[in-house]
Amino acid sequence: MKKRKKAVFFITAVVMAFMANGCTDESGNTVGRKTEQREKTGTVSTFVQETVGIYEAEKAAWSGNVKMVSKPILKGYSGTGYIEGFEEDTDICTFTVTIQKEGFYDLNFRSASKGGEKHNYVSVDGERLGTVFVEAEDFTDTYLTRVYLAAGEHRISLSKYWGYIWLDYLEVLTSEPIDSSIYNIKAELSDKHASEETKRLYSYLCDIYGKKFLSGQFCDTGQYGKEFQIIKKITGKTPAVLGLDFIEYTPSMVENGSKGYATNYAIDYWDNGGIVTFCWHWNAPSKYLTGEWYRGFYADSTDINLEKIMSGEDTQGYELLMKDIDAIAEQLMILKEAGVPILWRPLHEASGGWFWWGASGPEAYKKLYILLYDRLTGEYGLNNLIWVWNGQNAEWYPGDEYVDIIGEDIYPGEKVYTSQISSYLNASKNYSNERKMVYLTENGCLFDPDLARRDGAMWGMWCTWQGEFVAKNTAIFTLSEQYTEESMIKKVYEDKDVISREDLPDLNTYKIRSSDSIKGDQ
């Protein structure tokens, strides 16, 4: 999950007298919106964003626990008040919105948190499109950007995910066109000593970015596991990317009898013409485990304090983390010697706080990420790594010099085939000062390539998580259609722009691009 920020450069302040339902604060003052001009790197856009309507929450349709706040305590609301609730799955606020001209629109749910980070679902005409985030405890703009709306009437709903917010109104604004330059990536890795095979793979990834989608699938038993076999049976094709995890090699797991095979699976898949990505559910050292030993990567199963470790207060903890890194470096070294480049995604989903490496906040996390980068690339000389950062929040970004690709993990629900364009653009525009490729590094259901192309959400890769997202929990290799229906799996893998393993070129001989070349120069 991540925080969405909207950087705007105002060129004029225009009170929009035509705003739907009338928009005034609690003192009766008109709340105006401003037209915008967006600044690009080296250029200034001529796009001017316009509000096409504001819809007060107190005049919308409610269900469940959603209700009008009887005694308002917050300042700065518009209209006659605001609503609350969003505590149960049935809690929904639905706005009826009329659109005059089809196109892309930004949806701004003006809201406030009842304490801490809150995310809630947005649906249009019953189809879930994504989530909006709010952390501030006063009314704040929270956007879902670039939503396609046909001309006519629509039902736009906000429903409980994490819940517990106050909602003032929905604002519908015209959406800024996508700057196609976000798809143009320089073929320059963060590791200046990257191996030849790593440069070849990265060059290929840069060449197809913005044009094609790499198919990917996690499977902890490798290319012959049930997830891969189910996809092959349905589509006749094999995912281009195999997703694996180093968790079983972590010392606290090994101490309890775990044995890892992922390194061998990775070598086999690369040798068979595929691409490999690794995450690492880093089980905390045994000293810090407070719950089940196999859940030691979760913050609620360990009392490890990363802030104390990174500040020097816990020197033993630092030494234990270094031993853990050494254990994983040993496996990465095996892959290096086998000539296998890796899409390496450590310390993922940090900003969510559910993993211990994110539980102490962004500063401690960034220190650990940079330490891991320096230790693996510098001390160990692991030049076969393409670093995929997956912190999911701009405040957690360690710096462009430590990141090659930005990853987003999105689990939108069941049979939600939308493109997740808002998350894609947020990651493309708001994390890095440079252009970086953006990958869907974990997902539940697949997205529809037709919708991704329409919206401009050109994810360089998706990589569906294993287990229930593909296979029923039985010995029989049977598709679970709980998240993605068989018809959609077929459609996706048959799409002209989706790359399976069978479509990959020989990556051992692929031409290395010059570091200053961008797509279109070839």
Q: Annotated catalytic sites, by residue?
A: 349, 442
Residues 202 and 240: their CA atoms lie apart, in Å, by 14
Residue 357's identity, in one-letter code, is: W
Angle between helices 315-337 and 262-271 (to 10 degrees): 30
Residues 282 and 348: their CA atoms lie apart, in Å, by 10
Structural contact between residues 146 and 129, judged by C-beta atoms closer than 8 angstroms: no
Structural contact between residues 400 and 384, judged by C-beta atoms closer than 8 angstroms: no
Tokens of 373: 């980068």
Name the pairing type of β-strands 127-134 and 51-56.
Answer: unpaired
Edge to edge, the sheet with strand 127-134 lists 61-63, 92-99, 152-159, 118-124, 127-134
Q: Which of 66, 63, 50, 148 is nearest to 111 (CA)?
A: 66
Residues 412 and 464: their CA atoms lie apart, in Å, by 12
φ/ψ of 294, rounded to 5, equals: -85, 0
Q: Which of 4, 3, 138 is nearest to 73 (CA)?
A: 138
Residues 248 and 283: their CA atoms lie apart, in Å, by 9
Residue 138: which residues within 8 A CB-CB, separation 6 or more? 74, 75, 76, 112
Residue keyed to tokens 């270094």: 322
Residues 83 and 59: their CA atoms lie apart, in Å, by 10
Residue 98: which residues within 8 A CB-CB, separation 6 or more? 53, 152, 153, 154
Angle between helices 486-494 and 226-235 (to 10 degrees): 70
Residues 2 and 352: their CA atoms lie apart, in Å, by 8
